[in-house]
Amino acid sequence: MSHQTESPPTNQSEIWYTADLRRYGRGIGGVAAFLAVWWVGALLTQPSYLLPTPEESARAFVELFATSTAVSAPFLGPELVLPTGLAHLVETLYHYIPGLLSGAVCGIGLGLTMGWSGRLDDWLQPLIRLLRPIPPLAWIVFAIVWFGIHHTGAAFIVFIGAFWINFYGAYGGVEGVDSELTDAASTLGVDRDLSMLKLVALPSAAPQILTGFRTSIGRCWMIVVGAELFGAPGVGYEIINASNNLAMATSVAYMLLISLAFLCMDVGFRLLERRALAWR
């Protein structure tokens, strides 16, 4: 029996290290070039408020945290006073998080059961084909008449966006379960569908389920901003609100804030994912 614990030679890892440095250098170069083009473009644009310079945008971004705003915070108390940027981010999270989580739970649940049960799949497949192409934002009309365009309405839109991505992650994952593994589990005493789902299908589909969830984190940011453009409170609303006052730098600042919020969530989730899938 051979078990090699071969580590790459040192000069090899040095090569990687240099290659990494070179890549970072290029990345920084790309960002710098973009900023330069933006800056020159902004200086040449007339009237100047149509495109703020990076500097004006950075100032507006700092401004978001220099002032404070009170937001109503259900479940956390009557009102929270926070730096303005954070306050509106919290407003967004009040419909983003419930929409994302409920959409993920329902999507994964239905994806698992449909992927597992051929009969349910037969029943629901045509319906899925029909509903899937409808863009989440098209449901805004129902969100408005059913819930009003506030947290609940926006959460409903986010729910729909999260639902489909997570549904397909789980569905594809379960369909791809190796039949040898279910056979092995059968011979080891797993004789109920629910146990098989829990002990074999779910862990086996976990990589695809987690990828689906990570994709939905990003997609739901796009959707949430769209929903807020219709009037739900949050960073998306602030983007359009600022632009209505021709404060384009503030709009850019909120755009940057969304990007940072998404990056933090994405990086955080990738770390969790790597830990959960250490077996791969």
Partner 1 sequence: MAIIDSNPTETARTKKIDVRNLNVVYDSGGGSVQALSEVSLSVAEGSFTCIVGPSGCGKTTLLRTIAGLESADSGRILVDDEPVTGAGLDRGMVFQEYALFPWRTVRGNIRFGLERPDCGCADCEGRVDELIDLVGLDGFEETYPKALSGGMKQRVGIARAIAPDPEILLMDEPFGSVDARTRDRLHTELLDIWAATDQTIVFVTHDIDEAVRLANEIIVMDADPGSVQSTRSVSLSRPRNRTDTAFVDVVADIRTELGEPVETQ
Q: Retrieve residue 199's tokens.
A: 């002990």
In the complex, least distance from residue 11 CB atom to partner 1, rounded to whole angstroms: 25
Q: How crowded is residue 56: how many other Cβ atoms within 10 Å of its Cβ?
A: 19
166 to each of 103, 153, 154, 161, how far by Cα in Å? 8, 20, 18, 9
**Site map (CB under 8 A) of partner 1, residues 180-219, x = contact:** xx-xxxxxxxxx-------xx--xx-x-------------
Residue 272 in contact with partner 1, rule: CB under 8 A? no
**With CB under 8 A, what is the number of residues at the site for partner 1?**
23
In the complex, least distance from residue 183 CB atom to partner 1, rounded to whole angstroms: 5
Give the separation between CA 232 and CA 62, rounded to whole angstroms: 24
The phi, psi pair for 80, rounded to 5°, reads: -120, 135
In the complex, least distance from residue 203 CB atom to partner 1, rounded to whole angstroms: 4
- Closest CB to partner 1 among residues 120, 184: 184
Residue 106 in contact with partner 1, rule: CB under 8 A? no
Residue 275 in contact with partner 1, rule: CB under 8 A? no
Q: Retrieve residue 73's tokens.
A: 């915070």
> Could you tell me the end-to-end alpha-carbon distance of the chain, in angstroms, rounded to an integer?
22
In the complex, least distance from residue 76 CB atom to partner 1, rounded to whole angstroms: 37
**Site map (CB under 8 A) of partner 1, residues 23-42, x = contact:** --------------------
Q: How crowded is residue 190: how many other Cβ atoms within 10 Å of its Cβ?
A: 17
- Closest CB to partner 1 among residues 206, 227: 206
Peptide bond into 47 cis (omega under 30): yes
Using the rule CB under 8 A, which residue among 14, 55, 178, 193 binds partner 1? Answer: 178
Residue 280 in contact with partner 1, rule: CB under 8 A? yes
In the complex, least distance from residue 272 CB atom to partner 1, rounded to whole angstroms: 15
Q: Retrieve residue 53's tokens.
A: 């310079």
* Angle in degrees, CA 208, 212, 217, rounded to 5: 150
DSSP 150: T
In the complex, least distance from residue 136 CB atom to partner 1, rounded to whole angstroms: 32
In the complex, least distance from residue 116 CB atom to partner 1, rounded to whole angstroms: 17
Instruction: Please answer whether residues 235 and 94 qualify as being in contact, where contact means their C-beta atoms are separated by less than 8 angstroms.
Output: no
Q: Judged by CB under 8 A, which stretch of 36-44, 177-185, 212-220, 230-238 contacts partner 1? A: 177-185
HSE-CB at 9 with a 13 A cutoff on CA atoms is: 3
Residue 46 in contact with partner 1, rule: CB under 8 A? no
- Kindly list the residues in this chain that would bind partner 1 in the complex (CB under 8 A): 1-3, 178, 180-181, 183-191, 199-200, 203-204, 206, 278-280
